[in-house]
Amino acid sequence: MPLYVKELFKSYGSTVAVRGISFTAEEGKVFGLLGPNGAGKTTTLKIISTVLRPDSGSVFLNTIDIINMAESAREFLAYVPEDAGTYRNLTGYEHLEFSATVYARNRDEYKAFLEDGIRIADLGDKIYEKTKSYSKGMKRRLQIARALMVKPKLAVLDEPTAGIDVFHAINIRNLIKDFAKKNSSIVIVSSHNMFEVEKLCDEIGIINEGVLLRTGPIKEIKGDNSDLEEVFMKLAKGGQIDKSVR
């Protein structure tokens, strides 16, 4: 069930946020959108997640038209915005319980979802406390858990480790990679952290000023360069644009 994104355009008034973005993401892999703040990453993810409609272009999850069949598509996807919040007077457990109730088709699946959510969140006894007492990092881990525990075919995660300490960021990255492989799911992440993208993603798209400059496997994109930061600077300065749809 590949994800096909083709020729997306989106403007906010006179500002063009996304300019003809196209890429393909394969199941079982993590695809990362890499670029600075304001590059168009979040707008692209919102379109893929049915939160925004593009001015033009298409997004298909296999044969499902995500833009024009949004309700059907939402059965298969989970989205975690960068600024996602929590209900401050619910406990972490109650958040996970609610998601399990919504998505589970039977009692066994409900129990499995809930157990996975508790494991992924890794909050210990804090899972039973109200989230108004949580740090930003704790809330982020809960949000990631809510998204992945229901095993979506497409998980869209905007800055997944924002606010998380180094130890838990490593764990979350490993969980995301394992989740994609074990469930044959597609995970789309965005980040401005080039080190994180290199550790987490199988393939990436480098984006700047709403334009996708290059897509492909990380090793292929890096070539003889020492790191992705060096590649990004060369592409951004050179204005190279990848016109292919991978």
pLDDT in tens, 51-66: 999 999 999 999 999 9
Look up residue 224 and give its amino acid.
D
pLDDT of residue 102: 92
Query: What rounded mean pLDDT belongs to the chain?
Result: 91
Between 205 and 241, the more confident residue is: 205
The C-alpha atoms of residue 42 and residue 192 are separated, in whole angstroms, by 11
Q: Which domains does the chain have, with CATH numbers?
A: 3-85+152-238 (3.40.50.300)
For the chain, the 3-state helix, strand and coil shares in percent, each to the nearest 5, are 40, 25, 35
The C-alpha atoms of residue 136 and residue 140 are separated, in whole angstroms, by 6
Give ∠ CA 42-49-118 in degrees, rounded to 5: 95
Between 67 and 196, the more confident residue is: 67
Q: Could you tell me the pLDDT band of residue 84, with boundaries at 50, 70 and 90?
A: confident
Q: Could you tell me the pLDDT band of residue 8, with boundaries at 50, 70 and 90?
A: very high
CA 178 to each of CA 81, 109, 174, 202, 232: distance values in angstroms, whole numbers, following the listed order = 21, 20, 6, 12, 27
Among the residue ranges 13-17, 33-37, 177-181, the one predicted with the least confidence is 33-37
Check whether 192 has a pLDDT greater than 90. Answer: no
pLDDT of residue 244: 41
Q: Could you tell me the pLDDT band of residue 245, with boundaries at 50, 70 and 90?
A: very low
pLDDT of residue 37: 86
Which residues, other chains included, contact 226 with Cβ-Cβ below 8 Å and sequence gap of 6+? Answer: none
Helix, coil or strand: residue 14: coil
